[in-house]
Amino acid sequence: MSGRGGVKAGGKEALETVRAAGALCWRRTARGLEVLVVHSARYDEWTWPKGKPETVGSGVSDGASNPSPELLPECAVREVAEEAGVRVRLGRPLPEVAYRLPDGRPKRVSYWVGRPYEYGERTASGEEIDDVRWVPADEAHEHLSRAGDHRPLDRLLHLARRDRLGTRALLVVRHAQAVPRKQWGGEEDQRPLTLAGLRQARRLVPLLDCWRPQVVATSPWRRCSETVRPYTQREHAELHQDAELAELSEVAALHDPAAAASAVRRLVAADEDAVVCTHRPVLGPVMAALRESATRSAGRALPGSDPWLGRAEVLVAHVTPGTTGSRIRAVERFGIA
């Protein structure tokens, strides 16, 4: 290891890549489509709100804090709130921006479309961010200081022209770690999460909240309901629907996999953001149903074989409405350790 955090590879020092995340927030006003830019006092540049992931804990009192870095979507939502005082619901991902820092380290910034749902006070210091502005989207190129920041803006403008900027999210979650079958003497539908699984369930809350699904559909079996319970019981939860769907259970999908697929099709076609929590054996028909509505590129991003998702892993399908039906146009996956 080098003194700067790199490793020797082929006789050269490989510098560790710095990761960051942010969002291109948009709104429509009398002036038309606007986007949000911030001014970095430290670097004297106009850019998108962004920052590096922080370390977070599990929130479960079991004697193990298990701190871990934020996932990039969580980081993006927090940074927009801190730097701009805007709470956003994430949309589809945008192109990354990559550049080198003054010390030579490569930096990669992941961006998402962001739709504001609440405005508040900025908490970032004035020494970090000293100005925030909403500017007409078609004039934003003139405000940006870095040429690389134009790339996600170009994509956002392209989506806006094709009326694909606004999306809904359908999140598919495989339940968190459960007590092994061999160690459980009770009924299979009552097999609970382990302590590690409860930690995973708590860690899912800020990730799911990046898309703020209003509908929570889960298998009624205990390990699935326990996985989504911290999200449905979070403070100020405003769920329009919290439903246990028998067709998402293991036994139901074994006897009638078409029923699980039908339930997912209904959620793809619905008007609200939703999260579905189910079991590994049910994920086959779930993915088949998603693939039916996916574009070619989104279909390639869907998992194609068992086990489909890891425990407590989240698949985010970004859906747009259309005259011929809803279409999944982008897919992302995020794992909880």
pLDDT tens, 164-175?
999 999 999 999
Specify the range with the lowest mean pLDDT, choosing from 157-166, 200-209, 235-244.
Answer: 235-244
Above 80 in pLDDT, residue 6?
A: no
Q: Is residue 143 within 8 Å of 54, Cβ to Cβ? A: no
Above 70 in pLDDT, residue 302?
A: yes
How does pLDDT run across 44-74, given as a tens digit for each residue?
Answer: 999 999 999 998 764 444 444 567 789 999 9
> In the chain, where are the structural domains located?
7-161, 168-334
Above 80 in pLDDT, residue 7?
A: no
Tokens representing residue 69 in the block: 């870095």
User: Which residue, 213, 281, 277, 198, is CA-closest to 245?
Assistant: 277
**CA gap 73, 211 in Å, rounded:** 9
Above 90 in pLDDT, residue 118?
A: yes
CATH superfamily name and code, 7-161 = Nucleoside Triphosphate Pyrophosphohydrolase (3.90.79.10)
Protein fold of 168-334: Rossmann fold (3.40.50)
Bridging pattern class, strands 55-56 and 50-51: unpaired
Q: Is residue 37 within 8 Å of 133, Cβ to Cβ? A: yes
